[in-house]
Structure 1
Amino acid sequence: MQLNAFDLEVRGLVAKCWEAGKGTPLLLLHGSGPGAAAFGTWRFVLEPLAEHFNVFIMDMFGFGGSAKKPEGEPFDLELWMDQVRALVAHTGRDEIYVIGHSISGYLALRLAAEDARVKALVTTGTMGEHFECNAETEKCWTFPETREALKSTLTGLMFDTSVITDELLDLRMDILHDGVYGPYFTRMFQGNKQSYIDEATLTGEEFEQIKCPTLLIHGRNDVMFPAEELTLKIAEHLPHADVLLLGACAHLPATEHPERVVREVMAFFKKHNLS
């Protein structure tokens, strides 16, 4: 797979982006946990999807290699929406598909509500509906200062905890504790974390504007962002949407069950005669 890197400037900030494959543009948008980035979320599904689509991935501002805001609140849904809109414009195409994970599921839903160029939408472990912040959600948006705190966060993110090895913990600790990322992430989710859930909630009117074929994928064992409080409630607003609940899966479907996710996504596109 040939992966081409490029920069995208939005409001004076530079976003790191990559593309691969040919065909209809497919945007993959990552979530917001500690250390989240495009490759970390999509690394296992990127190549098989690029065999069928012109896949675009991007580090959201404040994550990965993309810029951090020099001033103002790091948690900025409108900035992230502008970033996604800029990537859509960069494709130069009138038809695009989008897969959004977690908080970027909310961004993807909003994009589908406002932009008719979105012809198919997939979410994994998505936000977008109101729910009560729980102790596990708090962990996802709290910077892990210690190795044990990191292990606790990863245990909430993954169903199969056997993958949380000493090697993985060492690698993550080295990446997270560079002296820059930690303070920025802490500022991003400071204060009452319920407010971030409330902000990332679509209105009934926005849901009504989503007309494209939609597939909502969620892990049945997701304790941080529970399926019954998010995907199943969102499905009530989208009677045309397909819903897939994955067993033995927590908050990271594309990491925990990549082959299943690719298979279901491709079946979804085939069902709607999309290529």
Structure 2
Amino acid sequence: MATDNPEIGQRITTGNVETNFHDRGTGRPVLLLHGSGPGVSAWANWRLVIEGLAPQMRLLAPDLAGFGYSAVPADYRFSREGWLAQLVGFLDALGLDRVDVVGNSFGGSMALAMAIGHPERVRRLVLMGSVGVPFELTPGLDAVWGYTPSLEGMRELIGIFAFDQSRITDELVALRHAASTRPGVQDAYRRMFPAPRQRWVDAMAHDEAAVRGIRQPTLLIHGRDDRVIPLETSLTLLRWIDDAQLHVFGRCGHWTQIEHAAAFQRLLRDFLDADHADG
């Protein structure tokens, strides 16, 4: 692998996964969990956040198994339990007892899994356009998980993600298409989310009582015009999580951290720096 590829960071063994991750900045550790778009990586998802907030905090962004440049055995079984074990092993390998967790979309379900299954490891929680509660599969999410590689298909997919269609440049389409067609990437992707796909929405959802049991201060962020994960998921989480607040961006799709980068980073910094009693 080319060492000048910014998506490739450090590597660490977490169980039977060779996890590719980025570790930038100093201070209180913040774990960034990416979404599940085709060809996604932690760096592609969080680059602007890492570059913007590394001066204030330590940002840790791993590629979950099956995504980016993390390596898994050929017979690896993708599941919420497997990804959670990878994340707990990742924190253990780095010697981190407690972190703030920020989850985007699919990564939001994994952030919830950490807060529910290992509450002592999570200080504060941020969920952006999050999966993790029951909802009806949207045409947008069905298209994301059912993506078949092509330049035109990637162009249409980015159009679903973004509210501002001027962001759909030929360069971005080509970069994301190339990422989705690296050897082994599409095979892993097909194994993760085969049709019918409502079952994977259901598999990533958590029990209502478990979500209501979350005690960490929680910030919910959602784009009003999100065509992938409906705003109603964050409204549900707002009802279920006791210490929660919700910020909704108008004129914003599923890419809050990109389409409203500066405002998103301010929200994140202010929330994680706030003086809560839990310290």
- Provide TM-score, normalisation by structure 1: 0.92
Tell me the matched-pair count.
271
* Amino acid across the alignment from 1:155: G
Q: What is the alpha-carbon distance in structure 2 between the residues aligned to residue 147 and residue 112 of structure 1? A: 38
* Amino acid across the alignment from 2:87: V
> Is the contact made by 2:146 and 2:195 (CA closer than 8 Å) also made in structure 1?
no
Q: Map of 1:90-239 to 2, 5 A cutoff?
A: 90-113=93-116, 114-228=118-232, 230-239=233-242
> Is the contact made by 1:28 and 1:42 (CA closer than 8 Å) also made in structure 2?
yes
Q: What is the alpha-carbon distance in structure 1 between the residues aligned to residue 204 and residue 187 of structure 2? A: 23
Q: What is the alpha-carbon distance in structure 2 between the residues aligned to residue 183 and residue 269 of structure 1? A: 37
The answer to whether the aligner puts 1:27 opposite 2:31 as a matched pair is yes
Change (3 A) 1:223 1:95: same
> Is the contact made by 2:149 and 2:180 (CA closer than 8 Å) also made in structure 1?
no
> Is the contact made by 2:17 and 2:86 (CA closer than 8 Å) also made in structure 1?
no
Deviation (angstroms), 1:107: 0.8
Query: Equivalent residue of 2:48, what SS?
Result: coil
**Alignment gaps of 5+ in structure 1:** none
- After the TM superposition, which parts of structure 1 deviate over 4 Å for at least 4 consecutive aligned residues? none
> Is the contact made by 1:106 and 1:128 (CA closer than 8 Å) also made in structure 2?
yes
The answer to whether the aligner puts 1:257 opposite 2:257 as a matched pair is no
* Amino acid across the alignment from 1:9: T
Change (3 A) 1:4 1:184: closer
Identity in percent = 31
Q: What is the alpha-carbon distance in structure 1 between the residues aligned to residue 14 and residue 94 of structure 2? A: 15
> Is the contact made by 1:110 and 1:206 (CA closer than 8 Å) also made in structure 2?
no
* Amino acid across the alignment from 2:90: L
Change (3 A) 1:69 1:254: farther
> Is the contact made by 2:213 and 2:241 (CA closer than 8 Å) also made in structure 1?
no
Change (3 A) 1:130 1:54: same
User: 1:200-228: CA deviations, max 9, x gaps?
Assistant: 11112321331111101111110111111
Q: What is the alpha-carbon distance in structure 1 between the residues aligned to residue 19 and residue 168 of structure 2? A: 30
